């Protein structure tokens, strides 16, 4: 290891594994893109329609970052009009497991979280 004593729990170290992953899936669109591509490859505008409400610039940024991280491949077909396919790599597909677990947790517990928020905010309002 060249990472020093403990790259595991270090929010500063840009190579802390958990940080790398959290920074990627914590952004607004990555998880949605992974979900959209689970069913197979899609073209840029298909992805855009599927994800819904994302500006092209932002989708491009997201896609580039994911490509850079090896989560998906970008295939440009030499045609007119252009056709670009995005597809999950094995690495990207393997992320659907952990994300699914997070989503399951979220769906079973979000009720409690929202209730807790409401209670907390009500206390604050009362003062």
Q: How far apart are CA 73 and CA 96, in angstroms?
A: 16
The answer to whether residue 28 forms part of the interface with DNA (CB under 7 A) is: yes
Q: How far apart are CA 46 and CA 61, in angstroms?
A: 16
Q: In what order do the strands lie in the sheet with 72-77?
A: 42-43, 83-88, 72-77
Could you tell me if 50 and 35 are in contact, meaning their C-beta atoms sit under 8 angstroms apart? no
Q: Which of a copy of itself, DNA, none binds 38 (CB below 5-8 Å, type-dependent)?
A: none
Interface residues with a copy of itself (CB under 8 A) are: 8-12, 15, 17-18, 20-23, 25-29, 31-32, 35, 51-54, 67-71, 91, 94-95, 97-98, 101-103, 105-107, 109-110, 112-117, 120-121
Q: How far is the CB of 79 from DNA (least distance, A)?
A: 9
Q: How far is the CB of 67 from DNA (least distance, A)?
A: 10
The answer to whether residue 27 forms part of the interface with DNA (CB under 7 A) is: yes
Write the interaction track for DNA spanning residues 36-75; mark x where CB under 7 A is met and - where it is not.
-------xxxx------xxxxxx-xx-xx---------x-
Would you call the peptide bond into 79 cis, given omega within 30 degrees of 0 as the criterion?
A: no
Q: What are phi and psi of 42, to 5 degrees?
A: -140, 155
Question: What DSSP character marks residue 29?
Answer: T
Q: What are phi and psi of 84, to 5 degrees?
A: -125, 125
| Binding site residues, DNA, CB under 7 A | 11-12, 27-29, 43-46, 53-58, 60-61, 63-64, 74, 81-84
């Amino acid at each position: 290891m060249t990472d020093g004593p403990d790259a595991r729990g270090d929010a500063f170290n840009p190579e802390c594994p958990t940080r790398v992953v959290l920074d990627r899936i914590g952004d607004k669109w990555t998880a949605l893109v992974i979900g959209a591509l689970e069913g197979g490859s899609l073209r840029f505008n298909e992805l855009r329609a599927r994800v819904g409400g994302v500006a092209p610039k932002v989708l491009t940024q997201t896609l580039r970052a994911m490509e850079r991280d090896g989560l998906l491949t970008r295939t440009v077909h030499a045609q007119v009009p252009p056709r670009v396919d995005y597809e999950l790599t094995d690495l990207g597909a393997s992320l659907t497991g952990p994300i699914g677990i997070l989503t399951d947790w979220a769906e079973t517990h979000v009720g409690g979280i929202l209730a807790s928020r409401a209670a907390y905010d009500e206390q604050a309002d009362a003062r």
